[in-house]
Amino acid sequence: MPRKFIVGGNFKLNGSQSSLKTLVEGLNQGNLDSNVEIVVSPPFVYLDQVRKAVRKDVAVAGQNCYSKASGAYTGEVAAEMLKDIGIEWVILGHSERREIFKETDDEIGLKVAHALKAGLKVMACIGEKLEERENNKTTEVVVRQLAAIAKHVSDWTNVVIAYEPVWAIGTGKVATPDQAQEVHKDIRAWLKEKVSAEVAEATRIMYGGSVNGGNAATLAKEEDIDGFLVGGASLKPEFVTICNAKAKM
């Protein structure tokens, strides 16, 4: 079965009730490719607003969740809480969580396990820093991060991997199609060797890192790029263009 293209919009720490109302109206009026799965991820306090307002063929994701269902964890949000308000997806392991908030590979693995158990679909993020790429450690890093997630996953049906080279996030630098495809191919090969050929063939691998309306169609042509996790451009009208990138092929 061909893998369904998926595009996620990570709004990060951006937006207001007013600006997100405008953004959602743009999505609702957009001519979106029906063959693409689309997920948007506003900040926690706007999740319910966006979920209720956005068209039904666009899903909504949390940007994070904790590895416990409840308890004395001030400031955290549980996967069960996201499910309770109708959220289907969560982004876990984003490089900003790893770098700024010092989340470890093991912590992210536990979060993925708990989110899946709670019934959420997961975008699991992996990716290397610039110095790691320059030292030819890209594969070593992404495999280490992926292995920490994989050991907690028995059913990959609701997992999408998001490869996001840290040096390309929000910098305007983009991995070339060849660079991105090479890593995606390595990830799929690792899944085939360590998990199964079936999982490797079925699991979608998104690319993230300064994706925009100008480069999306070119990146989408690569064999192992199954979608995009979009940051800044998801807050702009060009997000519709990115969602339709596959249709231009």
Query: What does the pLDDT look like over 68-114, one tens digit per residue?
Result: 999 999 999 999 999 999 999 999 999 999 999 999 999 999 999 99
Map tokens 């063929």 to a residue: 57
pLDDT for residue 247: 83
User: What's the number of domains the chain is made of?
Assistant: 1
Q: Give me the sign of the Cα torsion angle 146, 181, 5, 208.
A: positive
Q: What is the pLDDT of residues 8-21, one digit of tens each?
A: 999 999 999 999 99
Give a yes or no: residue 33 inside a domain: yes
Write out residues in the chain with pLDDT < 50, as ranges: none
Take residue 107 and report the two structure tokens written for it: 């912590």
Cβ atoms within 10 Å of 17's Cβ, excluding its own = 10
Give a yes or no: residue 1 inside a domain: no
pLDDT for residue 169: 82
Name beta bridge partners: 211.
none
Residues 6+ apart with CB under 8 A from 75: none
Mean per-residue pLDDT of the chain: 96
Give me the active site residues, please. Answer: 94, 164
Q: If you write DSSP's letter for every residue of the chain in order, what string do you get? A: -PPPPEEEEE--S---HHHHHHHHHHHHHS---TTSEEEEE--GGGHHHHHHHS-TTEEEEES--BSSSSSS-TT--BHHHHHHTT--EEEES-HHHHHHS---HHHHHHHHHHHHHTT-EEEEEE---HHHHHTT-HHHHHHHHHHHHHTT-S--TTEEEEE--GGGSSSS----HHHHHHHHHHHHHHHHHHT-HHHHHH--EEE-SS--TTTHHHHHTSTT--EEEESGGGGSTHHHHHHTGGGG-
Whether pTM exceeds 0.95: yes
How many Å apart are CA 174 and CA 57, to the nearest integer?
Answer: 29
Specify burial of residue 49 (Cβ count, 10 A radius: 0-12, 13-18, 19+): middle
pLDDT for residue 1: 75
CA 199 to chain centre: 18
pLDDT for residue 173: 79
Give a yes or no: residue 249 inside a domain: no
CATH of the domain at 190: 3.20.20.70
Question: Strand 121-126 vs strand 89-92: parallel, antiparallel, or unpaired?
Answer: parallel
Give the length of the chain.
249
Give a yes or no: residue 184 inside a domain: yes
Structural domain boundaries enclosing 192: 6-244
